[in-house]
Amino acid sequence: MPAKRNIRARKPAARKAPRPKLEEAAQWVGKPLPRKEEGRLVRGKGKFVDDYELPGMLHLWLVRSPYGHARVTHIDVSQAEAQPGVVCTLTGPEVAKLVRPFLEIGPEPGAKIVDYPMGVDKVRYQGEPVAAVVAETALAAADAAELVRVDYEPLPAVVDPEDALRDATLLHESAGTNVVWQGEFDYGDVDKAFQQAAHIVHIDRLHFHRFTSAPLEPNAVIAQWDPGEDFITFWCNNSFPAFAIQFLALALGIRIDQMRVQTYDIGGSFGIKITNYPYMALCALASRKAGGRPVKWIETRTDHMTASAHGNERVFRSTRVALDTSGRILAIESRHIDDCGAYPRYEPLGCIIWAQVLPGAYRFRNYRVRFTQVTTNKCPVGPNRGYSRMQHLWFLERVVDICAHALGIPADEMRRRNYIRADEFPYTTPNGCVYDSGDYARMLALAQERIGWDDWKEKQRRARAEGRLVGIGIGTTLDSGTNNFGQSRLLNPNAPFSGQSGVAIVKLGIDGNISVSLGSVPQGQGHETTSAQVVADVLNVTPELVSVRPGFDTERNAHTGHSGTYASQFAVTGLSAAHGAAQKLKAEMKRLAVFALNAKEDKLEFGMGAQGPEVRVRGSDKAIPYWGLANLVNVNNAVLPAKLQDVTLNCRYVYRPPFRLPDLKRKYGNLTLTYSAQLHIAVIEVDRDTYVPRILDYAVVDDCGRVVNPLIVEGQVHGATAHGIGAALLETCSYDENGNLRNATFSDYVPITSVNMPTLRTGHLESPSPFTFNGAKGMGEGGGAPLHAISAALQDALYAQGVIIDDSHNNASSLFHLLERTRAGRAAQIVRVESRAAAARR
């Protein structure tokens, strides 16, 4: 309309820059902004622990056990201490005198386990530290460490979780058993469901293998224990510092405010750096012994693979599935044995965390499991990406596929019959979790469309006619985020934590700059970018004008007792906090502007002016820049009226999700706030001659509610997919019967690389969460969908040959043996179907 344009043209000439009204302001949330942190990271200018060089810094080298299980009878450090450049040493028995054992989260029997940062009279996994050498250089320390004499008396090792259950060989004599925790979970009426079932499918044993995420940067710590102040400063890459400092304070006998923990750039954690606090303790002790000089420890790749943390291994025994005539699952009953390696550390939390997704994406209401966790002579586990839910969801997807094949129902149809329906959200699971939103059937349809399902079915038919082994598999997974620590009470009623929180400080600085400090520990998730997007939207500025402090810092940044980066939650806890703090700041700015501009509050608008951001009175020339408001508080404050005395422009906000404590008796309650979902479809061919499984096509559909930054979400989806494909086909921590890790280097472990990656056909669905301020859900972990999809595709490819995929890891050699065994008629009978109804198909 020409008339409208004329009105605009008549605006005062001085105002050259476009002036968006509040309602029209750029919505930065939802834009695919490149990451703010890219500038330094891509150019190699990031700052990692190893980049810090402090005056007088010493280096620590660990002497580690070559045995999986052995008694330590004698340690002699005299020769090492005599080497040039060596300042001091530490040994297990010495450390045991200096610290208290780490806190055990669980109740007895696990609580009776004694966990020191070094093996004392015994070592329980290969690579467990037994002594440390501290020297002027890392090389001098490494050379001297070879001169530490340790006498071992090797003991029989237990590496299989089911063997561990028999307690024939004990890891922790103090506990009297290898069992860490055991519990029954029983929901609905399982027995009745089995009585009514048309089909009962028995699955003898399924196994989820042990692997790790192999972050590019291994663990790293610098600690300085200032003897004058009795204060410890840590530069580290621990990804859950609020948790670590509580463990460290108890062990070291200090208060948590006698410690400063800071992180800066981190080369990936995927959860496994949560449990690197024993090394933080060792560096602190070494620093104190060395008179307060800072002590640096950088883990080698081999040590990282051997002795940092691996993911949980789990065995699913004697599973029974009750189904009705049309293949609807009525009930599942099973026994799960989780293997946490030599020490529980973050465990037994994994014994409950799976229950966040107890029914997976499915509608069944009856579920019974006896869950047991055991220690074995293997590297302790850490909460590895997809932690505990991934293992459980893989189990459920195997159950669904095995039942589908057994009953002759197509895999997609089987899922459509069993998925929770879109109109059932928010959906309360049998154990009281509330799934916020989602539409699994639509995700499946979208993924089928992305991959060209019908086309592939036709191609598969033709390939099979040629004798080729082509399979198509679906993996449905959930990524539950923002956990309620109250669930720890289901393991240990006395656990002293519950709920969840996120914190942020948003500040308008003296010169008008907007700065944000967070309580998270970013390791590539782009927190600087997404929090800048959220704050920019509240304050109507561009994200470049919002500076976000990198890293975590108990002293300079905000933090709460939940602070860290874990459990797929930043989009909820971190961004809600940033949003809340920005709103608080905006409210203060408004009050100042009402006074400065002598205007009514509802006439004020925030936005970009010619000289930067300003608050102005709508429809007039009156405006005050943001720096002008800061000036009023910090520089020119005699003019301020008394009623504005409380304005600081430095606003801290703590976000707390609406959690309550679960009902301990019923093991019932809401354990997580949001539920992202991913649906993968893999098409795989197993080569008839080489047995190499090749991914022919791959589709990924994700739904993480409202997307804050599509680029970052896509990056997380790709990363999680790569981790999952790597785990499914390449990566496994392989131990021999003595507890020797057989593949501790990258040539043997073979982390996934780009040549192993298929091109991903991605698709998105947005089911906004009704429980978060912006509809977003956490999504970083991904839920391990490739493990589900690849197992399913392999089973689909080989089912006609009589093969059931019962392990989450499969490679050419293992597929060769699966096929050989069935060819020779020696296939293990792991699945049995009992059908009662006359209408039953089999």
Residues that bind another protein (CB under 8 A): 138-139, 142-143, 146, 300, 302, 687, 689-693, 729-730, 734, 742-743, 745-748, 750-753, 755-756, 811-813, 816-817, 820
CA 165 to chain centroid, in Å, comes to 28
Round to whole Å and give the CA distance between 669 and 648. Answer: 40
For another protein, the closer of residues 212 and 480 by Cβ is 212
Q: Which is nearer to another protein, 27 or 813 (CB)?
A: 813
Pick 146 or 153: Cβ nearer another protein:
146
Cα–Cα distance, 579 to 797 (Å, whole number) = 49
CA-wise closest residue to 113 among 304, 295, 345: 345
Numbers of helices and strands, H then E, in the chain: 22, 29
Kindly state the smallest distance separating residue 816's Cβ from another protein, in Å: 4
- Alpha-carbon distance of 219 to 235, in angstroms, equals 11
Q: Residue 511 is encoded by which pair of tokens?
A: 């010169």
Distance separating alpha carbons of residues 126 and 155, to the nearest angstrom: 12
Q: Which is nearer to another protein, 370 or 694 (CB)?
A: 694
Closest C-alpha to 408, from 480, 473, 327: 327
d(CA 134, CA 288): 11
CB nearer another protein, residue 305 or residue 490: 305
Q: Are 678 and 450 in contact (CB under 8 A)?
A: no
Rank residues 277 and 691 by Cβ distance to another protein and give the closer one: 691
Exposed, middle or buried by CB within 10 Å (0-12, 13-18, 19+), for 317? Answer: middle
Say if residues 358 and 367 touch (Cβ distance below 8 Å): yes
Q: Which is nearer to another protein, 142 or 831 (CB)?
A: 142
- Other CB atoms within 10 Å distance of the CB of residue 98: 17
> Are the C-beta atoms of 388 and 336 separated by less than 8 Å?
no
The CA R_g of the chain, rounded to the nearest whole Å, is 29
Single-letter amino acid code for the residue at 30:
G
Q: To which residue do tokens 């905000």 refer?
A: 558
CB 264, CB 47: distance < 8 Å: yes
Nearer to another protein, 44 or 641 (CB): 44
Nearest distance in Å: CB 592, another protein: 58
- The CB-of-817 to another protein minimum distance in angstroms stands at 7
d(CA 781, CA 783): 6
In whole angstroms, give the CA distance from residue 262 to residue 294: 14
CB of 780 to another protein, least distance (A): 25
List beta partners, residue 514. Answer: 508, 546
CB 714 within 8 A of CB 762: yes
Closest to another protein by CB, 174 or 690: 690
Minimum distance, C-beta of residue 191 to another protein, in the bound complex (Å): 43
**C-beta closer to another protein: residue 139 or 587:** 139
Q: Give me the amino acid identity at 446.
A: L
Minimum Å gap between C-beta 730 and another protein is 6
At its nearest, how many Å lie between another protein and the CB of residue 728?
11
The residues pairing with 472 across neighbouring beta strands, listed in sequence order, are: 683
**Closest to another protein by CB, 747 or 829:** 747
Nearer Cβ to another protein, position 648 or 740? 740
- Token pair recorded at residue 210: 């042990």
Decide whether 692 or 840 has the Cβ nearer to another protein: 692
Write down the least CB distance from residue 755 to another protein, Å. Answer: 5
Q: Smallest gap, in angstroms, from Cβ of residue 424 to another protein?
A: 41
Assigned token pair, 275: 């449990």
Beta bridge partners of 506: 516, 651
Number of Cβ atoms within 10 Å of the Cβ of 633: 20
* Of 23 and 689, CB closest to another protein: 689
Rounded to the nearest whole angstrom, what is the least distance from the CB of residue 282 to another protein in the complex? 18
Q: CB of 752: closest distance to another protein in angstroms?
A: 7
- Measured from the CB atom, the residue of 46 and 758 that comes closer to another protein is 758
Q: How far is the CB of 133 from another protein (least distance, A)?
A: 12
Rounded to 5 degrees, what are φ and ψ at 755? -65, -20
- The interaxial angle of helices 710-729 and 785-798, nearest 10 deg, is 50
CB atoms within 10 A of CB 687: 13
Beta carbons of 347 and 381 less than 8 angstroms apart: yes
Asked if residue 816 lies in contact with residue 422, where contact means CB atoms within 8 angstroms, the answer is no
Q: How far is the CB of 136 from another protein (least distance, A)?
A: 14
CB of 302 to another protein, least distance (A): 7
Complex with another protein: residue 169 or 811, whichever CB lies closer: 811
- Distance between alpha carbon 569 and the CA centroid of its chain, in Å? 9
The least CB distance from residue 564 to another protein, in Å, is: 31
The pair of three-digit structure tokens given for residue 335, joined into one six-digit string: 């026994």
Considering the complex, what minimum distance in angstroms separates the CB of residue 62 from another protein?
Answer: 12
Query: Alpha-carbon distance 194 to 268, whole Å?
Result: 45
CA distance linking residue 148 with residue 664, whole number of Å: 50
Taking CA atoms, 429 is separated from 339, 418, 433, in Å, by 26, 14, 5
User: 232: helix, coil or strand?
Assistant: strand
**Beta carbon nearer to another protein, 478 or 684:** 684
CA dihedral (719, 720, 723, 729) positive or negative: negative
Kindly state the tokens that stand for 756.
């192993």
Least distance (Å) between residue 678 CB and another protein: 24
| Angle at alpha carbon of residue 526, lines to 522 and 532, rounded to 5° | 110
* Closer to another protein by Cβ: residue 282 or 712: 282
3-state secondary structure at position 394? helix
Residue 99 CB, nearest approach to another protein (Å): 27
